Structure 1
Amino acid sequence: MSQRNWSTHHYLTTGLLTSLILIFYTSCQSDNNLPPADPDNGGLFLPDGFEAIVVVDSIGRARHLTVNENGDIYVKLRVPNEEGQGIVALRDSNGDGKADRVETFGEYSDTGNYGTGMEIYNGYLYFSTAGEVYRTKIDPEKLVPEGEVELIMKDDYKNAVHGYEHIAKPLAFDQEGNMYVPFGSPGDVCQEFNRRPGAPGMDPCPELEWHGGIWRFDANKLNQTQQDGYRYATGIRSVVAMDWNKDENSLYVVQHGRDNLHRTWPDLFSRWESALLPSEEFFKVEDGTDGGWPYYYYDHLQEKKLLNPEYGGDKTLATGAENVESPLLGFPGHFAPNDLYFYQGEQFPERYKSGAFVAFHGSTIRGPYPQGGYFVGFVPFENGKPSGPWEVFADGFAQLDTIVNTGDAAARPMGISMGPDGSLYITESVQGKIWRVMYTGEKEDFGAEALAELEERKNTRTNIKNPDEEADNLEKGLLETGAQTYNIYCATCHQANGKGDGTRFPPLAETEWVTRNNKRLISLVLNGMEGQIEVNEVEYNGIMPAHSFLSDVEVAGVLTYIRKNFGNNSSSISATEVAKVRNELQ
């Protein structure tokens, strides 16, 4: 309290002085020096006692973020802007909770479009692209670092086998000067012919020598390649969610599970099972951990590690599973865990201390059932292990009840970090909005009742609950051969509305790739495609597997369906045309 206020108090009666002190105390208790929240909490559903404010909106497709000790926020964009700058710096100068300074910066080489990592470590801002890890020195007096950008590690891609799919490079740091970087699997489940239905897995899997694991590097050594690192853990397919748990002095990750069990093994897995399985696995990762990929997957419904069908699995066999690491817990399949953060602050109620927040970016391949994820979950922890089932912490990002196509979601939660006062910051990847989540209730009163509404959402919302096999099937009544083929083999990537997912998979709607040149279109389906293409003035760089296993009638049907839907209005393609092109290609 200022000297002027204390001087004034000397002239007040004791009763009035007591009243003023009580008012002042109550005011401080109610806001804890936090800014006022948005009236609608920025559209989020939160536990009772929590509130949220939108710090900034529409900064670009945001990935991970980190918050400095002075409250400055740094966000990694998925792709650099037109000036080649891919980092956004934010500052709230007046304490109202809104960023009033927003600056984009960064001068570095970016070899891919999957930038994600963003961490502050020992006074440096570390960040990653698809192929590099950089750092730059932070000056706390300046929002934008002015120091040299140093290359810490470069992925030279020399060790990729059969392409390279899972290239995100989140970052984590221990307390001894080490940096941890995942190198995801080049394919889905180490098949000789990637993603081909019925194709067996390679045994031993050659990809495990350089991929499907976590590598440890010297955080301060410049110009390293993967060969300079140490393979810390293996058998981990794809990691975007990763954090160093300071309480346990250990690395934790949440793995993205494999794809399309029904598409590749339709006689073994139903479409309902394929929507829920395999689980997204939450691991504690220690030196030498083997998570079991590609030989095993986790089934959270049975709470068992099982053999993948590519290696002889039949949904019950667990031969050898005792020799690989089981997860701490398994989340429902395809939730897409994209960030993990162990809470170390003092602002939230005690039950959140040392617990794990997980940002579920949301599925693309759950059809014909509603897409799942699109929320931030929480796992309570005690002694380094979950002490209860996972919970819903923040929902409402998608702003709709049933998410049919990924592109329908207004926002997809992506990154999580904590501010110096214990507030939690969350990014989303569609437009680039950032929320600040704060606790303004009475901490001693927080309990199960505060979680009741979100527990109900966990059991009722279509993006969170296990779908009912019949009632939640969005394809009921869809009988056309072309439509069914599309939804089995194409909608997982290009989405049920044909608009793609906006990141990796291009749209089929109103594009010359679909409406012109029948031979090229048929050839693309039969042979697949790999490499960069431009669709509707947007570049995509991914892998479309060959679908030559489809019959001529199925190829003709699905292409006719595509050419007459999604805003397209082109002529049919016949099985005769498909057979002719197939013969020419052989």
Structure 2
Amino acid sequence: MRLSRLSVLLSFFIIVYFTQCRRHGLPPGDPDNGGLFLPKGFEAVVVVDSLDGAARHIAVNSNGDIYVKLRFPLSSGGNAALRDEDNDGKAEIVKDFDEYQDKSSYGTGMRIHNGYLYFSSVTRVFRQKLTPGQLVPDTKIELMLTDTQPPSQHDTKPIAFDDKGNMYVPFGAPSDCCQMEDRTPFSPGMDSCPMLLTRGGIWKFDANKPGQFQKDGQKFATGVRSIVALEWNDQDHNLFTMMHGRDYLHAQWPNYYTEWDGALLPAEEFLKLKEGSNVGWPYYYYDQLKGKLLLNPEYGGDGKKEGNGSDYTQPLIGFPGHFAPNDLLFYTGNQFPAHYKNGAFIAFHGSTSSAPYPQSGYFVAFVPFKNGSPSGQWEVFADGFAGVDTVVNTSDAKYRPMGLSMGPDGSLYVCDSEKGKIWRIMYKGDTSKFGQADLSDMIRRKKEALNIKTPDSIRDNLDKGNVSIAGKTFNTYCAICHQRDGLGNDRFPPLSGSEWVKGDKNSLIAIVLSGLDGNITVKGKSYNNKMPRLNLLSDENIAQILTYIRQNFNNNASAVTLEDVNNTRKALGGKVNKPGKQ
């Protein structure tokens, strides 16, 4: 009797469950929502667990087909196309396509506009006509825009379109803060920042004209350091973006900024841009704690001076520093509750430079909107991508949310840059009853999750007095790139087991004093990022740092002495920096 009654109850719940799915016309979510934490009433299904080449950005067509800009383009193509044939939420067909010039892991842009698939590399924007009903396009690839300058930092090419036939593309600034010596501690800023003539801004182009160059466009906004998230708002008829704030406030100016300041500042700025807007980079940064633009230390600031900051375009919201906003989407669908209508979803890729505090970001936020402006506090919409409670080093994060797109039924799609995982987020509840109570779990996450909350300056400090003086010096000046565990990340090489670290110590000292630029190979992998010279550090600090990395991170090499650094500095023609002097 008990077994029969249990079978009846089980059958009842199965019928109700699948009836609800049919009522919504949506597939069932995964039992664990693909590892995500979501507001009540929402479910997530994993469309594909991983893609060869991982993912950067994503676009969903009007028939539900998914197009992905691959992070690591394959020999068979730089893009991927996916199709769910039976509406179970899973992609049964996955095909790579399009071999095109200048394929780059950091090309950023995948949009569908007027029947064309637009996508980008770091120096080019392409488009390809889509054929209705056909998954993989076989039409000619058109080269729409070419950036003739060599690739450098912040050279992403996100794409946005207005309702008048214009295409907007940023040209990122190849610098952290337009210093005389980029990313070098205590280096002053350049007068009038000459790179602002052709960089650090957004240009407007003809969306339908192939073969354009930067000179063919019109500068729309300036003072914009680095942009990966860019979107036109069709309700407000304005361009919106999320700007990555500058780096290294504590590492470059420890006399003005504490480790806690460096972990939280400056803000990632949510901006509405009008033609002619000037956001203020490199002269100013936004302090979300003080709620104002402040003068950068490279230009005379000290963490308090406001200068003429009020004269520049002010952000709508200042998110905590280093969250890394990498996509922006205004929700225009009808599947989600009215609370989300016309609001903004933001994918935060996650920090690499929040140490000695937990790395932050790694979630999707939501900002409610009304009449083209935020109408409430920002919210946590989807979390759990990292797969761990505390992200000490970037490599700890299992997934990092990257691209956003809305499906024809109003589902929200999110892709990951580490393995190429794609989630489809759906609402299955009663939209008429959705309210604050349904957001309670996410409100708590905003206050408590270590990757989201404002860290306590003492309790959340991961060092807590357990790191040596040499370790702290390394964490201040080196861990931002090479990470506290010495494993590096996809952009910066590892120190653990590195032939550069374990080799000739005089060559290693010379690199620290002189910096390093250009392509290098470390443990069989190629890297091409500039290492700033740290010649303004004392010889004592340099000896401490190099001894630390040569005798930690699974390395076992001889110590570097103060005399070693003295001699190498003299050989390079520099003056010895005495202990304690910088």
Are 1:486 and 2:474 matched, yes or no? yes
What is the deviation of 1:479? 4.4
The code of the aligned residue for 2:47 comes to: V
- Aligned residue number for residue 264 of structure 2: 276
**Match of residue 579 from structure 1:** 566
1:474 alignment partner in structure 2:
462
In structure 2, what is the equivalent of residue 68 of structure 1?
61
State yes or no: 1:557 paired with 2:544: yes
- Residues 168-219 of structure 1 deviation map (CA, whole Å, 9 limit, x = unaligned): 1111111111111111111011111112222221221111111111111111
Structure 2 counterpart of 1:323, from 285, 291, 311? 311
Give the distance between the partners of 2:246 and 2:378, measured in 1 at CA.
Answer: 21
Deviations 1:277-298 (A, max 9, x none): 1111100011111111111111
List aligned pairs for 1:103-114, cutoff 5 A: 103-110=95-102, 112-114=104-106
Evaluate the alpha carbon distance shift between residue 369 and residue 31 of structure 1 in structure 2; reply closer, same or farther with a 3 A threshold. farther
1:98 pairs with 2:86: no
How far does residue 141 in structure 1 lie from its aligned partner after superposition?
A: 2.3
Give the structure 1 partner of residue 28 of structure 2: 36
Q: CA deviation at 1:31?
A: 4.5
Q: How many residues are paired up? A: 558
1:308-319 to 2 correspondences below 5 Å: 308-319=296-307
1:118 aligns with 2:106: no
Q: 1:147 to 1:29 in 2, by over 3 A?
A: closer
> Within 2, Cα distance between the matches of 1:506 and 1:410?
19
Offset at 1:222? Answer: 1.3
Alpha-carbon distance in structure 1 between the residues aligned to 2:311 and 2:537? 38
Q: Could you tell me how far apart the structure 2 residues matched to 1:87 and 1:458 are?
A: 35
Kept in 2: contact 1:91–1:102 (CA 8 A): yes
- Superposed displacement of residue 57, structure 1: 1.5
2:578 matched to which residue of 1? none
Is contact 1:411-1:429 (8 Å) kept?
A: yes
2:283 is equivalent to residue 295 of structure 1 = yes
CA distance in 2, matches of 1:139, 1:79: 26
Cα drift, residue 113 of structure 1: 3.3
Are residues 445 and 29 of structure 1, via their aligned partners in 2, closer, same or farther at CA, if it must alter by over 3 Å? farther
Secondary structure, counterpart of 1:530 in structure 2: coil
Amino acid at match of 1:150: E
In structure 1, the residue corresponding to 2:40 is in which secondary structure? coil
- Partners of 1:296 and 1:308 within 8 A in 2: yes
C-alpha distance in 2, partners of 1:173/1:287? 14
Does 2:362 align with 1:362? no
Q: CA deviation digits over 1:23-60, x for unaligned, max 9?
A: 99993577411011100000000000000000001203
State TM-score, norm by structure 1. Answer: 0.93
**1:77·1:116 contact (CA, 8 Å) conserved in 2?**
no
State yes or no: 1:453 paired with 2:441. Answer: yes
Instruction: Quickly say closer, same or farther: Cα 1:29–1:476, change in 2 above 3 A.
Output: closer
1:515 aligns with 2:502: yes
Q: Cα distance, 1:477 vs. partner?
A: 2.0
Paired residue secondary structure (1:531): coil
Partner-residue secondary structure (3-state), 2:566: helix
Alignment of 1:303-452 (within 5 A): 303-452=291-440
Residue 15 of structure 1 corresponds to none
- Residue type matched to 1:554 in 2? N
Residues 31 and 440 of structure 1 are in contact (CA less than 8 Å); yes or no, is this contact kept in structure 2?
Answer: no
Query: d(CA) in 2 for partners of 1:149 and 1:518?
Result: 50
Residue equivalent to 2:131: 139
| 1:368-419 residue CA offsets vs partner (Å, 9 max, x unmatched) | 0000100000000001000001000000000111110001000010000000
TM-score by length of 2: 0.94
Q: Distance in 1 between matches of 2:504 and 2:243?
A: 40
Which aligned runs of 4 or more in structure 1 are off by greater than 4 angstroms? 23-26, 28-31
Q: Tell me if 1:495 matches 2:488.
A: no
Helix, strand or coil for the counterpart of 1:573?
coil
What is the alpha-carbon distance in structure 1 between the residues aligned to residue 54 and residue 535 of structure 2?
35
In structure 2, what residue type is equivalent to 1:300?
A: Q
Structure 2, unmatched stretches of 5+, are: 1-14, 574-582
Q: 1:360 offset after TM fit, Å?
A: 0.4
> Where do residues 105-184 of structure 1 align in structure 2 (5 Å cutoff)?
105-110=97-102, 112-157=104-149, 164-184=152-172
Partner of 2:9: none
Q: Mind listing any 5+ residue stretches in structure 1 that lack a counterpart?
A: 1-22
Report deviation, 1:300. Answer: 0.9
Q: In structure 1, which of residues 523, 532, 547 is the aligned counterpart of residue 519 of structure 2?
A: 532
- Cα RMSD between the aligned structures? 1.6
Superposed displacement of residue 116, structure 1 = 1.5
Q: Name the aligned partner's letter for residue 60 of structure 2.
A: V
Q: 1:583 & 1:109 partners in 2: Cα distance? A: 46
Return the alpha-carbon distance in structure 2 between the equivalents of residues 532 and 140 of structure 1.
Answer: 43
Alignment CA distance shift 1:29-1:78 (3 Å): closer
Contact 2:107 2:121 in 1 (8 A): yes
Native 8 Å contact 2:59 2:405 kept in 1: yes
Quick check: 2:37–2:384 contact (8 Å CA) kept in 1?
Answer: yes
What corresponds to 1:54 in structure 2?
A: 46
Q: CA deviation at 1:274?
A: 1.1
